Amino acid sequence: MIVVMKPDATPAEIQHVIQLVQQLGMKAHPIYGTERTVIAAIGSKRDECRQSVASSPGVESVVPILAPYKMASLEVKRERTVVRVGPLWVGNCHLGIIAGPCSVESYEQMLATARAVQAAGATALRGGAFKPRTSPYSFQGLKEEGLKILAAARQETGLPIVTEVLAASDVELVASYADVLQIGARNMQNYRLLEEAGASGKPVLLKRGPAATLEELLLAAEYILNAGNQNVILCERGIRT
Amino acid sequence: MIVVMKPDATPAEIQHVIQLVQQLGMKAHPIYGTERTVIAAIGSKRDECRQSVASSPGVESVVPILAPYKMASLEVKRERTVVRVGPLWVGNCHLGIIAGPCSVESYEQMLATARAVQAAGATALRGGAFKPRTSPYSFQGLKEEGLKILAAARQETGLPIVTEVLAASDVELVASYADVLQIGARNMQNYRLLEEAGASGKPVLLKRGPAATLEELLLAAEYILNAGNQNVILCERGIRT
Amino acid sequence: MIVVMKPDATPAEIQHVIQLVQQLGMKAHPIYGTERTVIAAIGSKRDECRQSVASSPGVESVVPILAPYKMASLEVKRERTVVRVGPLWVGNCHLGIIAGPCSVESYEQMLATARAVQAAGATALRGGAFKPRTSPYSFQGLKEEGLKILAAARQETGLPIVTEVLAASDVELVASYADVLQIGARNMQNYRLLEEAGASGKPVLLKRGPAATLEELLLAAEYILNAGNQNVILCERGIRT
Amino acid sequence: MIVVMKPDATPAEIQHVIQLVQQLGMKAHPIYGTERTVIAAIGSKRDECRQSVASSPGVESVVPILAPYKMASLEVKRERTVVRVGPLWVGNCHLGIIAGPCSVESYEQMLATARAVQAAGATALRGGAFKPRTSPYSFQGLKEEGLKILAAARQETGLPIVTEVLAASDVELVASYADVLQIGARNMQNYRLLEEAGASGKPVLLKRGPAATLEELLLAAEYILNAGNQNVILCERGIRT
């Protein structure tokens, strides 16, 4: 990280930051400019020590050098990830086509839809059994009955199933039926859910929240990756209707 | 609700919608205009029947007459809500002042802060024990230890405690220490959490999500109200930094 | 429009609204429900009379029946628009491919790019001569010199030129070189610019603003259409980086 | 600025960046870490040279050290700005109260409102003569007639006038009546308007755009400051309704 001192920082303040950086296990490279001093701290562990340096007297700001996400960057894992679930391949130029209705309504509906989307080239079937609803009075989905219908449609067609999970406490149930867990835009920063989905071992399709920045999306993915799950599919979303 | 027929809807399609509306237990008032027919359905139960009418042949759109939230409106509960927690009163022109640090760090920090904000006029103390962090590598809070520190600061000062709960599975623990459960902007549409917080019986401070509309905020509140909890404090937020 | 009366509206208030609706040249159809009265006003001219009705005593809300945009809807112009500019066709399942660099930098750069994108299948060439810059210190584009370079690249390749116009006062200049005027996301609600672009007679590519709703986008298009210009290309955008 | 080299950057690539930085008039301080090399470029002129360095072979990213805005920071102008317009003082703990209706409708309305808000403690009067309307069919304001009404209300009460200007070409007209030019949220990044408002010499009240970041807001202010106008009032806004 780079520590930017205030223009009027005193030599004692500069010296204090240099020592603090060294105590934190990094090498300090002070660079004395005409207007201000900047201290490059080499060997940092990203976010962790940043707060204590930033709050030292005479410090104007601390600028991170590396992206705040590790596992979501190509820096750590050099080759591009391909998530593979039967016929569904996503990543590194593989284009998966995941198709299906908003909600699972009945076995007949799902089977007819599954056959139609398969004929049209889809490589996975989607359908909501647990529905995130803006209103508590809207239909909330068929829940486990919907998951069973999805599994039956998979049985008939061979298409893997992508379906949304809304709560950390539902991950185990949904993962027992689904091939890919979908996390919706509204839950992109539901960290407990991200951790549970990560721990499930199932691939996760993570949708971008409305107004979320790219960095926020990648850090949300990092929660899943950090739980030991390398199979994360990022899905652009977030346009309002 | 108002059913707007397409300009070229046939008499049979119009008749079908009228019958459907009646079967759903509402009265149908067709109004034949010069360009199109509009059917007022009186006695509707808000969102529930809307889908089946909207997907009937010849229907262009279905316009709700009433707001989609009930309990969050003054329509149902005529007098304005005042949430009262010891010295903290919020609502109907009562202005609560909830103050404190971002994170609970230590007993000394919280006690000093609590005394300072109390002297400055605050009527409640806030501090994060569970912290929602964009990055999994950031400090996630002192958790239960932080809750104990908050409770100790309340013991010393008499200020009620407002603190964030991040997950449905933490509601019981947090509610056993806190006076008011805070739900952060990122969790505004974490419906399971809203339901659990509603069921806890504790007052809930609900923050508005970034880019959330007023209707989305009020419907999120409706999840809490619908769980039997009338003590919801709405908090404007959602400005990006 | 539908006028929703308050539950406790008096008969005199209801009568007053009925008369007001009639004075405004519409037919009033009162529907007396169990909880409240609703008055359907038929023959309305959209937005215009809504304010005076909405502010009458006893009125709770006024719900429009028709979309607030006219010319942007299929209601008025039944067949789908196809914008045609030489090889560039957009709309009604015609997919235009508009390609090129962010900024026009030099003739060599534009010509090489134009040939490359043409070989790859592009049907139009884009490049910024006037650049909207978050910072006043960033490069603002080559301006008219850039427009001349674009025109020269068109001369060589036959590709029509799509380029951004930033200000109402630049429309005449940009339109004298460009085949399609681009209006960027930040200017989606710069109404004077929309009107000038509409009046120019050139097709307009309108980008969706960050966080803009679909209705806001269509109403922005309506400004252009209302200036007599039917050639509007809508461009989804608005995802933050 | 700090130039972060890729982990596998070659010595020749590193040497090339060092020379480029020196050619651009800055001092280059290479810091050789265990995983990568970082080059601190001292004496930079903010944004200008960044592109050419960032596109050099072996460079991963370029991190600016200083904020991209100059005049909007306390770095350049050390004392806090106070905008003073008669009784309206804003900034450095002075709280201005600007009150009035959405639209100017009539002289009677404005005069009654002006007297009421003055009695209630307002230090300036607002009212829209040019209205930014989502729909082209909505009332667009009384325009110059509205400005005259505002001026008459000022004459009667002594309250300075704050009113919105929508287009660069209207700045001269609006500035001939108004004491403070208001730039609305939708025009926060209408750069031509910002420049014209800056050049007018009148204080400018700049509203934050929906979903705009703080940096975007400050850079919008920088456009006004950069036109020689130090009297910018920032106004938080940007919450959707």
pLDDT-based confidence at A75, cuts 50/70/90? confident
Chain D residues near residue B214 by CB distance under 8 angstroms: 240-241
What pLDDT, on the 0 to 100 scale, is given for residue A35?
76
- CB contact C230 to A (< 8 Å): no
Q: What are the residues facing A41 on neighbouring strands?
A: A28
For an interface test with D, the pick among A63, A76, A214 (most D C-beta atoms closer than 10 Å) comes out as A63
Weakly modelled stretches of chain C, pLDDT under 70: 44-48, 238-241
What pLDDT, on the 0 to 100 scale, is given for residue B9?
93
Answer yes or no: is pLDDT of D48 > 70: no
Q: Give CA–CA dist D77/D177, Å, rounded.
A: 30
Tell me the torsion sign for CA atoms C19, C24, C30, C36. negative
- CB contact C38 to B (< 8 Å): yes
pLDDT-based confidence at B241, cuts 50/70/90? low
Closest C-alpha among C197, C226, C192, C185 to residue C47? C226
**Contact B190/B216 with Cβ under 8 angstroms?**
no
**Residue of chain C minimizing CA distance to B31:** C29
> Token pair of B119, please?
């002297």
pLDDT-based confidence at D107, cuts 50/70/90? very high
> Token pair of D171, please?
């700045």
Within the 130-159 window of chain B, which residues sit less than 8 Å (CB to CB) from chain A? 132-139
What pLDDT, on the 0 to 100 scale, is given for residue C98?
97
**Residue of chain C minimizing CA distance to A217:** C241
Closest C-alpha among B63, B73, B59, B99 to residue B214? B73
* Alpha-carbon distance D86 to nearest alpha carbon in chain A (angstroms): 35
> Token pair of D169, please?
């070409």
Answer yes or no: is pLDDT of B47 > 60: no
Mean pLDDT over D212-219 rounds to 90
pLDDT-based confidence at A46, cuts 50/70/90? low
* Alpha-carbon distance D235 to nearest alpha carbon in chain B (angstroms): 12
Answer yes or no: is pLDDT of D163 > 90: yes
For an interface test with C, the pick among D134, D140, D219, D240 (most C C-beta atoms closer than 10 Å) comes out as D134
* Alpha-carbon distance C130 to nearest alpha carbon in chain D (angstroms): 11
Closest C-alpha among B41, B47, B43, B44 to residue B68? B47
Mean pLDDT over B160-171 rounds to 96
pLDDT digit string (tens) for D65-102? 777 888 898 877 778 999 999 999 999 999 999 999 99
Encode C165-230 in three state secondary structure. Answer: CCCHHHHHHHHCCCCEEEECHHHCCCHHHHHHHHHHCCCEEEECCCCCCHHHHHHHHHHHHHCCCC
**Residue of chain A minimizing CA distance to C216:** A241
Q: Give chain B's radius of gyration (CA, Å).
A: 24
Q: What are the residues facing A28 on neighbouring strands?
A: A41
- CB contact A120 to C (< 8 Å): no
Q: Give CA–CA dist B65/C31, Å, rounded.
A: 13
What pLDDT, on the 0 to 100 scale, is given for residue D40?
86
**Residue of chain B minimizing CA distance to D236:** B239
| 3-state secondary structure (DSSP) of residue A101 | coil
Chain C residues near residue A218 by CB distance under 8 angstroms: none
- CB contact C189 to D (< 8 Å): yes
- A90, A128, A172, C67, C162 from A184: Cα distances, Å: 18, 11, 17, 29, 36
Q: Give CA–CA dist B168/B227, Å, rounded.
A: 14
Q: Is A180 exposed, middle or buried (0-12, 13-18, 19+ CB in 10 A)?
A: buried
Q: Give CA–CA dist B147/C51, Å, rounded.
A: 51
| 3-state secondary structure (DSSP) of residue C157 | helix
pLDDT-based confidence at A238, cuts 50/70/90? low
Q: Is B81 exposed, middle or buried (0-12, 13-18, 19+ CB in 10 A)?
A: middle
Angle, CA of C32, C34 and C37, to the nearest 5°: 35
**Contact D125/D97 with Cβ under 8 angstroms?**
no
pLDDT-based confidence at B46, cuts 50/70/90? low
pLDDT-based confidence at B137, cuts 50/70/90? confident
Put the strands of the sheet holding D161-164 in their side by side order: D98-99, D124-126, D161-164, D180-183, D204-207, D232-235
- CB contact A119 to C (< 8 Å): no
- CB contact C240 to A (< 8 Å): yes
**Do A134 and B190 count as a contact with CB atoms less than 8 A apart?**
no
Domains in chain B, CATH or no CATH each: 2-63 (3.30.70.1140), 83-235 (3.20.20.70)
Q: What are the residues facing A62 on neighbouring strands?
A: A3
How many A×C Cβ pairs under 8 Å? Answer: 22
Chain C residues near residue A239 by CB distance under 8 angstroms: 208, 236, 238-239
Q: Give CA–CA dist C65/C73, Å, rounded.
A: 14
pLDDT digit string (tens) for A78-123? 789 999 999 999 999 999 999 999 999 999 999 999 999 999 999 9
Other CB atoms within 10 Å distance of the CB of residue A111? 16
Q: Give CA–CA dist B207/B209, Å, rounded.
A: 6
What pLDDT, on the 0 to 100 scale, is given for residue D46?
53
Q: Where is C232: in which H helix or E strand?
A: strand C232-235
- CB contact B46 to C (< 8 Å): no
**Do D223 and C136 count as a contact with CB atoms less than 8 A apart?**
yes
**Residue of chain C minimizing CA distance to A215:** C241
Greatest C-alpha distance within chain D: 77
Greatest C-alpha distance within chain C: 77
Closest C-alpha among B190, B201, B188 to residue B236? B188
Q: Give CA–CA dist B37/B5, Å, rounded.
A: 6
